[in-house]
Amino acid sequence: MANQDSTWRQAVIYQIYPWTFHEDMKRMPQKGVGSLRGIIEKIPYIREELGADAIWLSPIYTSPMMDGGYDISNYNDVHQDLGSLQDFKDLIQEAHQSGVKVMVDFVPNHTSDQHEWFVKSRKREKDFEDWYIWHPGKKDEQGNRIPPNNWASVFSMPNKRSRNEGNFPDLNEGDWTPPVSAWQWDDDRKEYYLRTFAKEQPDLNWSNPLVREAMKEVMRFWLDSGADGFRIDAINHLGKNMHFDDEEVNHAYNEEFYDNPYDQLLKENSCGYWGSLHGHVWEITEVLRDERYEDRDLRIVMEAHMGESDLRQLNDIAPDLAATFNFGAMRLNWGVAERKIHLDYYYQNLSEVGIANQVNGNHDEVRLATRCGDSIARTVAVMNFFLPGMRFVYNGEELGLHNAKVPHEKTRDHENGYRDGERTPFIWNESEKNAGFSNAESDQLWLPVNEDDFGISLNHQKTDAKSSFSLYKTAIKLCRELTSIQSGKYESLQADNAEVFAFERRSDNEKVVVVVNFSSNTQRSRIATDFTGGKIILSSIDVDQNPRDVNLEDGVDLKPDEALVIVAS
């Protein structure tokens, strides 16, 4: 299908964390975890009420759940707590009938240590010996066996500092935490295996053609089951220097900026290694070009935590099919200059056929409203909706849900449940059992419901014209109606107030300007563009106000944190 016609081009993609979204109430007994049938029940909500065009399902596969489902023990089946393959097919059918595309998670870098491939590899079974990255290690001066190099695990106490949890050592005091080695000794095989993430997540050996073929077969399995594309996990980790050279020390490391001891080393060999990464990305995207998928509108979005110029390289490999997540905005300080530089760079460097994206959060990040505060969360949402490309919404973000404080005994995630706060159940209706998430007993829930957010349940917000939900719904609807937002390019504009950022989108017959106040005071700014009179059609604060006239040459008045959408009249 011609890429310019792709419905992904300006799609709103709703990310569902399946374990805590919704359990269908017909399931007996209730398990206290979300289900695929529960998602089916909510398709009308996603499509007709919110207005999303697609969903992305975080992993739904068989897994011992050491890493929230990103430790897969069978790629080709659904976790029995979530449902069955038949449920997935029904989900596809219902979603497609409602005009919703379905993107699934593809986790190519590692499996669970329970996966039969690893069980066989560990035993050196014929044909499977080299499916993972094994190494005998080396000897230190005392003759003790040590890992082959200094590569570190990403899970080296991640994000503790920024979350003010745990006892993070002070590097300046000389009391530092060495990163956890990425090499795990295996007593069965008497060798180390590489595990970039948890020790239960051995890295697959992508230099082995059999592995690559098996993983491409996994992709085909889900495409043939009806999936419309993939969110690809940790793709930069497929690029490894197989000579296993040590990483250099990151001399820029300081505890203010980095929150993970993993970052004490530069990453030039253990991941993002161009020599192999680019080829693997190309090979993965080629799967979608198979002639049997010719009539399908398929898409890939790749998770890669890398610098902007490295991301650019990945975006250029198959721009008509795949792009990396644009996490940049999520990491930036809230300031006009940073934002403008980032967006200008991002859009200028995207190829003509490429599809951009904007992301406000996901299952790994502190929720948007907790990260930025309720008010700025709304500002960010409006700004991102009106930018070109796919816009990702993490389930619950539309309500402005906050991170929950999960009691220690109820945590699920490793490292003391460090990401559980953003994964607690969706708050449907506070007057129903478990806020409408599941009918199981509350102590049976996979993660507890966050009662602190009962006041912002969907039920409450639906009838409140100023609510966060109403804002999301209105913004999504407007974006769909405005031809400039469907097709226009991004261009930043001059504002004569340093606290104000403005950009423009235009189609043949329509011009839209978005003006954003980055300060918590009222501001006035003139905006330089080729029209002066316009109508304010949306405010991030007063969602329900009627359109009102504004003159961009005289100046636009903005309330604290306000984002305005203005159409040329």
Residue closest to ligand NOJ, measured at CB: 70
Between 305 and 505, name the residue whose CB sits nearer to ligand NOJ. Answer: 305
Crossing angle (nearest 10°) for helices 274-286 and 308-315: 40
- Near ligand NOJ by CB under 6 A: residue from 68, 108, 488, 534: 68
What DSSP element (H or E) covers 391? strand 390-394
Between 68 and 488, name the residue whose CB sits nearer to ligand NOJ. Answer: 68
DSSP secondary-structure letter at 567?
Answer: E
DSSP assignment of 496-562:
SSTTEEEEEEEETTEEEEEEEE-SSS-EEE-EESS--EEEEEEESS-TTPPPEEEETTT-EEE-TT-
- Near ligand NOJ by CB under 6 A: residue from 56, 61, 70, 437: 70
Between 303 and 562, name the residue whose CB sits nearer to ligand NOJ. Answer: 303
Q: Given the residues 291, 295, 352, 530, select the one marked as catalytic.
A: 291
* C-alpha–C-alpha distance, residues 37 and 21, integer Å: 11
- Give the burial class of 200: count Cβ atoms within 10 A of its Cβ; 0-12 exposed, 13-18 middle, 19 or more buried: buried
In the block, which residue shows the tokens 């305005």? 564
Catalytic annotation on 188?
A: no
Minimum CB separation from ligand NOJ for residue 33, in Å? Answer: 17
User: Which one of 63-71, 379-387, 493-501, 505-513 is the stretch in contact with ligand NOJ (CB under 6 A)?
Assistant: 63-71
> What number of CA atoms fall less than 13 Å from residue 8's CA on the CB side?
29
**Residue 280 and residue 179 in contact, taking contact as beta carbons nearer than 8 Å:** no
Minimum CB separation from ligand NOJ for residue 441, in Å? Answer: 28
* C-alpha–C-alpha distance, residues 297 and 318, integer Å: 15
- Per-residue mark of binding to ligand NOJ, 91-120 (x: CB under 6 A): ----------------x-------------
Minimum CB separation from ligand NOJ for residue 145, in Å? Answer: 27
In terms of DSSP bridges, do strands 299-302 and 229-232 run parallel, antiparallel, or are they unpaired? parallel
Q: Which two tokens stand for residue 113?
A: 């240590």
Minimum CB separation from ligand NOJ for residue 362, in Å? Answer: 7
For position 200 contacting ligand NOJ by CB under 6 A, the verdict is no
Minimum CB separation from ligand NOJ for residue 530, in Å? Answer: 43
User: Which one of 62-70, 481-489, 497-505, 533-541 is the stretch in contact with ligand NOJ (CB under 6 A)?
Assistant: 62-70
Catalytic annotation on 530?
A: no
DSSP secondary-structure letter at 68?
Answer: T
- Per-residue mark of binding to ligand NOJ, 219-258 (x: CB under 6 A): --------------xx------------------------
Q: Is the peptide bond before 560 cis (omega within 30 degrees of 0)?
A: no
* C-alpha–C-alpha distance, residues 496 and 499, integer Å: 9
In 164-290, the DSSP E strands lie at 183-186, 191-194, 229-232
* C-alpha–C-alpha distance, residues 69 and 34, integer Å: 13
Between 107 and 449, name the residue whose CB sits nearer to ligand NOJ. Answer: 107
Between 113 and 364, name the residue whose CB sits nearer to ligand NOJ. Answer: 364
* C-alpha–C-alpha distance, residues 109 and 568, integer Å: 48
Other CB atoms within 10 A of residue 231 CB: 23
* C-alpha–C-alpha distance, residues 540 and 80, integer Å: 41
DSSP assignment of 128-153:
TTTSB-EE--EE-TTS-EE-SS--B-
Minimum CB separation from ligand NOJ for residue 68, in Å? Answer: 5
Between 271 and 566, name the residue whose CB sits nearer to ligand NOJ. Answer: 271
- Near ligand NOJ by CB under 6 A: residue from 19, 61, 197, 386: 197
In the block, which residue shows the tokens 């009222």? 522
* C-alpha–C-alpha distance, residues 298 and 288, integer Å: 7
Q: Given the residues 233, 398, 420, 430, select the one marked as catalytic.
A: 233
Residue count at the site for ligand NOJ (CB under 6 A)? Answer: 10
Between 392 and 501, name the residue whose CB sits nearer to ligand NOJ. Answer: 392
> What number of CA atoms fall less than 13 Å from residue 333's CA on the CB side?
6
Between 296 and 412, name the residue whose CB sits nearer to ligand NOJ. Answer: 412
What DSSP element (H or E) covers 528? strand 527-528
Minimum CB separation from ligand NOJ for residue 267, in Å? Answer: 15
**Residue 437 and residue 22 in contact, taking contact as beta carbons nearer than 8 Å:** yes
- Near ligand NOJ by CB under 6 A: residue from 67, 113, 365, 397: 67
Other CB atoms within 10 A of residue 139 CB: 10
Minimum CB separation from ligand NOJ for residue 70, in Å? Answer: 3
- Per-residue mark of binding to ligand NOJ, 269-308 (x: CB under 6 A): ----------------------------------x-----
- Near ligand NOJ by CB under 6 A: residue from 364, 430, 504, 561: 364
Between 58 and 529, name the residue whose CB sits nearer to ligand NOJ. Answer: 58
User: In the complex, which residues of this chain contact ligand NOJ (CB under 6 A)?
Assistant: 67-68, 70, 107, 197, 233-234, 303, 363-364
* Residues classed as catalytic: 233, 291
